[in-house]
Chain A
Amino acid sequence: AQRVTQPEKLLSVFKGAPVELKCNYSYSGSPELFWYVQYSRQRLQLLLRHISRESIKGFTADLNKGETSFHLKKPFAQEEDSAMYYCALRSNQAGTALIFGKGTTLSVSS
């Protein structure tokens, strides 16, 4: 089965601390992975996708096929990073839909 697991519902950190949001996946073949962010009362926005290898708003994510992980990292958290973060996998069984994890709420306080 194709599945995305985000083990933490909530991650609370202080401003300036490093952040790591965990994502593990189950997929046979070469996965296509994404991180989406949803700020309060706003739509989901694409943060990054593994094939582009970009760094957006200081966030990076590396695909580790051995550990089937795609953790999202930022060295120094900012208060404006507080949001819900979703890891997603592009399905090859349900059309080309994205399969989302349950999300992790990141709370950054000063």
Chain B
Amino acid sequence: DSGVTQTPKHLITATGQRVTLRCSPRSGDLSVYWYQQSLDQGLQFLIQYYNGEERAKGNILERFSAQQFPDLHSELNLSSLELGDSALYFCASSVDLKAEAFFGQGTRLTVV
């Protein structure tokens, strides 16, 4: 157990809907990363937060947004869902910007 907790583990929803994925980082970790894993694209970096502030954006669609709260947990919001958004979404955390990143188990999103 890496200490990074993601909920829910599985999510099935219809096209056009909106979902929220939650990530609780390891205790003391300030940095949170979100990644999308799909069969054709592999692991794509979406967005990074550090101590509540957005740090960097990767290949994140405009329909997606995220935030990190004062207690350092993070949420990834996905809206106007399309079939192609079906993927495994991973959260990772690290104690600072250069430390090893620990990954959660992921949330498997299926859009039908």
Contact residues in A for B31 (Cβ distance below 8 Å) = 96
- Asked if residues A100 and B42 are in contact (CB atoms below 8 Å), the reply is yes
In A31-61, which residues have CB < 8 Å from any B CB?
36, 42-46, 49
- Asked if residues A103 and B56 are in contact (CB atoms below 8 Å), the reply is no
Q: Which of A43, A101, A102 contacts B104 (CB 8 A)?
A: A43
The minimal Cβ–Cβ distance linking A60 to chain B, given in whole angstroms, is: 18
The minimal Cβ–Cβ distance linking A6 to chain B, given in whole angstroms, is: 9
**What per-residue 1/0 map shows which CB atoms of A61-101 lie under 8 Å from chain B?**
00000000000000000000000001000110011111111
- Asked if residues A100 and B43 are in contact (CB atoms below 8 Å), the reply is yes
B2 interfacial contact with A, CB 8 Å: yes
Contact residues in B for A86 (Cβ distance below 8 Å) = 42-43
Q: Which of A90, A94, A101, A103 contacts B58 (CB 8 A)?
A: A94
- Asked if residues B55 and A95 are in contact (CB atoms below 8 Å), the reply is yes
Secondary structure class of chain A's binding surface, majority of residues: loop
- Asked if residues A95 and B56 are in contact (CB atoms below 8 Å), the reply is yes
Number of interface residues of B (CB under 8 A): 27
The minimal Cβ–Cβ distance linking A101 to chain B, given in whole angstroms, is: 7
B24 interfacial contact with A, CB 8 Å: no
Complex Cα spacing A49 to B99, Å: 11
Known pairs A86-B43, A95-B97, A103-B43; A45 contacts B103 (CB<8 A): yes
Complex Cα spacing A68 to B104, Å: 30
| B residues apposed to A, CB below 8 Å | 2, 4, 31, 33, 35, 41-45, 48, 50, 55-58, 90, 92, 97-98, 100-106
Q: Given contacts A43-B104, A98-B33, list 12 more A-B pairs with CB under 8 A.
A: A43-B4, A43-B106, A45-B103, A49-B100, A94-B58, A95-B48, A95-B55, A95-B56, A96-B48, A97-B58, A102-B41, A102-B42
